[in-house]
Structure 1
């Protein structure tokens, strides 16, 4: 099967196509200075090929998360543990789900670590799941630097090794690398050298122009053309593009990034009392502590040596002036923790990550003067899953619920809320929740993802999904001996809640 992807128009106005099947075998390198249109080019490629091939995007700035609403990509936040990232990567390959690994908000070292772990998880997938995947890495020079930077050697080797595996050995595993970089000089040569297709955009430095011309087989005089390329224009070459260098103007896209280039906009009308507004302080400013750093005066070396030679005082430090906090009993402490959890869930957006909710929980514990060790992130996720299940106190006190919690250990932490919600409906004789409610419990807008979750539970032997004569969906739990009432999978979430009540 051959799929021609329309990338835009050539120099003479003809359509410029990219052979997607050839790209999967030969990989692609995109280069251009900031503002040259690299992200626009990647978005065009992703949109045009979304219906043909599974896609995985390593997104350091969170620009490509908007593909989720239009094309159903799953957005994965990079602030996760190594085990979580490896597990998600394995399931992405197993279920052939397109996704965006959003690294926005992480520092460079954490971005490199998360990207390296996730790419290694894709690379190490079982042979049965080596389906073709288009792996797009934006700002590739960050993950495969040519020289060591400020990050630790361990993180740099992890990230660089993962990028090398993607570009050098990924083809046999179905991984087709598409990497974009601002400067070729910043990108590791062994990573760039494995690409057979090139789209070179605007660049100004001599070293970058010379290297781009060398990759395209141009001479030094022709290298000057890269300075004059307009935004969104690239010189294409490669077996998936064209046999000779051709200038291509990238076409329009259907989605847009959350961030955009700065645009000029009119200033507000001049204020007559602008000076008063700016120079008059807000009373609240005086209540804020002002941190000032005062350079200490240098001390003579003789004073320092004399102080160090003094014998150490053995007198115990008194704490009589410190106010003593009343010790909480385990019951009182649990009550405070439960109250903090309830406040978090009351103010929480269903689509916030567990890491964000956990930070909110820790803040609320500090406000309640809860000292000592709080819930770990894993325990916090377990408590959240129980709350999101909707189970009441009577249900949670039953032996069947205890067995349900034991069964939930067979699924990962991110799936427990969905599993417990379905089990709660079965134990209480309620209709099967619709796809919208399942998706919301998982933290996604995609109802297709909800249906895939049910399929996953069934593959694990935890549930049996069947229909009644009217087409209502029923989820049975063989280990519990219960099943839900028939429910409409396409019903709105509120309608399902009313039926359960």
Structure 2
């Protein structure tokens, strides 16, 4: 069914029609400096298409929550646990409810994580729920930056991966990305390149004008026109809009954002006692509590290891406990906790047994874990992504129970907290080899533990650990590498840095098996 919505007026006064069905297949990129009217354009698009297609808006500033008043969009507060967000996103797809994910009040790192979890959960929905959805992402340069900045690296990777999935692979799952950005130069190229429809607004920087002109197929000399565009005026091109660039004046909207552009207003009359007014605090100011938002501290790795090993320990002691206690006196709560921990350990073991799990992102593994946990009927609140990462890091080391119970391993877990979550698995693998005097892992083995094929990156990781004064790297007389950990008073046996990773999955065999 072909549905056209009116986005405004063309230069000759004719209506500027946008084909929604074509937009679902070809995606849209909106670009314009702050104040050019991007949010107004998105609001017009959402209002005009609300009755035709399900909508999900990733809203970093809370501007689009007012759509709920007239169009019934469900407002989802981003200040929720990761498990809650993933569950809500799955149900949003299942029941075809339009919603606004409001990230207002979160810092940039938490906004990126929340958006990534929500988008990934929508992306991983069951095939039967692949209904068409218009996914609008405002300020897309925040969620798909072209380069790393001051944000945490794990948050940047999660968010960029989710945005890439939305724009590159979302079409077959019914997800149609509509992304708006202030600057094309700040937006990751692999995300921007997947859009086939463009609406370019007022832009002043030469590099952004040149990229906008290239995307619209215009001559570089025509790029100057983007400086002269008025607010709310855009140049559109694409199969859902027009086969050649056309100027469009965006029409009026029925709802308004809670925030608005600043307007001049008269200054108040001068007050005689202005110094007393400013420097004298109100009585309630001294008793007003100061509210500061802060992220909860991550659970210590030692607690997570204890939870992992608890199921095994309790299972081993179950026979003795059953003989010592009567049937009615058995601690049911402890038994239920042990059963839950055992199920979690089984799900983790199943996921990590996959030959390709070493090269999948933590976010993808986490979504797989949540789905399998629901299938296994694991009750209780799901663990957070940070806890999941730590558990995976410990399990991947393959540490045995005897080593895990030792003082050296507990100390190694404490040292691992000095590095970021994505590096803890690599450090713990090296620490285990040092504690047990095993051969030093090769570059290929270290690279796989980090989720990459690059041996050069593996060597950089060792250099980083050495800079953090966690390890010392040296060689034996035959040139084989040895890694020592001074605080553990342990070091690995010599190992060849260029040795192949014998435990790595055979990709050719995997492809052959898939073909069969």
- Class of the TM-score when normalised by the shorter of the 2 chains: 0.5 to 0.7
Name the counterpart of 1:245.
Answer: 245
Distance 2:39 2:81 in 1: 28
Determine helix, strand or coil for the equivalent of 1:271: coil
Q: How does 1:350-499 map to 2 (within 5 A)?
A: none
Name the counterpart of 1:68.
Answer: 68
2:123 counterpart of 1:123: yes
How far is the alpha carbon of 1:108 from its aligned partner? 0.2
Distance 2:56 2:198 in 1: 20
Name the counterpart of 1:92.
Answer: 92
Determine helix, strand or coil for the equivalent of 1:258: coil
Name the counterpart of 2:394.
Answer: none
Determine helix, strand or coil for the equivalent of 1:104: coil
Name the counterpart of 1:27.
Answer: 27
Distance 1:112 1:243 in 2: 35
Distance 2:128 2:16 in 1: 35
Q: How does 1:140-289 map to 2 (within 5 A)?
A: 140-278=140-278
Question: Measured at CA, do residues 80 and 9 of structure 1 come closer, stay the same or move farther in structure 2, by a change above 3 Å?
Answer: same
Question: Measured at CA, do residues 280 and 61 of structure 1 come closer, stay the same or move farther in structure 2, by a change above 3 Å?
Answer: closer
Determine helix, strand or coil for the equivalent of 1:64: coil
How far is the alpha carbon of 1:14 from its aligned partner? 1.0
**Structure 2: runs of 5+ lacking an equivalent:** 290-379, 382-516
Determine helix, strand or coil for the equivalent of 2:40: helix
How far is the alpha carbon of 1:282 from its aligned partner? 5.6
Aligned residues: 293
Flag as ranges the 4+ runs of structure 1 deviating above 4 A.
279-289
How far is the alpha carbon of 1:272 from its aligned partner? 3.7
Question: Measured at CA, do residues 121 and 271 of structure 1 come closer, stay the same or move farther in structure 2, by a change above 3 Å?
Answer: same
2:39 counterpart of 1:39: yes
Q: How does 1:334-349 map to 2 (within 5 A)?
A: none
CA-atom RMSD in angstroms: 2.2
Distance 2:288 2:111 in 1: 34
How far is the alpha carbon of 1:151 from its aligned partner? 1.6
Distance 1:86 1:103 in 2: 15
Question: Measured at CA, do residues 279 and 120 of structure 1 come closer, stay the same or move farther in structure 2, by a change above 3 Å?
Answer: closer
Distance 2:153 2:28 in 1: 27
Name the counterpart of 2:83.
Answer: 83
**Structure 1: runs of 5+ lacking an equivalent:** 290-379, 382-501
Distance 1:50 1:280 in 2: 51
How far is the alpha carbon of 1:26 from its aligned partner? 0.2
Distance 1:216 1:28 in 2: 13
Question: Measured at CA, do residues 286 and 41 of structure 1 come closer, stay the same or move farther in structure 2, by a change above 3 Å?
Answer: closer
How far is the alpha carbon of 1:275 from its aligned partner? 4.4
Name the counterpart of 2:11.
Answer: 11
Determine helix, strand or coil for the equivalent of 2:165: helix
TM-score, normalised via structure 1 length? 0.56
Name the counterpart of 2:103.
Answer: 103
Distance 1:93 1:175 in 2: 10
How far is the alpha carbon of 1:86 from its aligned partner? 1.1
1:347-401 residue CA offsets vs partner (Å, 9 max, x unmatched):
xxxxxxxxxxxxxxxxxxxxxxxxxxxxxxxxx99xxxxxxxxxxxxxxxxxxxx
1:123-148 residue CA offsets vs partner (Å, 9 max, x unmatched):
00000000000000000000000000
Question: Measured at CA, do residues 165 and 272 of structure 1 come closer, stay the same or move farther in structure 2, by a change above 3 Å?
Answer: same
Distance 1:287 1:243 in 2: 63
TM-score, normalised via structure 2 length? 0.55
1:56-113 residue CA offsets vs partner (Å, 9 max, x unmatched):
0000000000001100100001111121111111111110000000000000000000
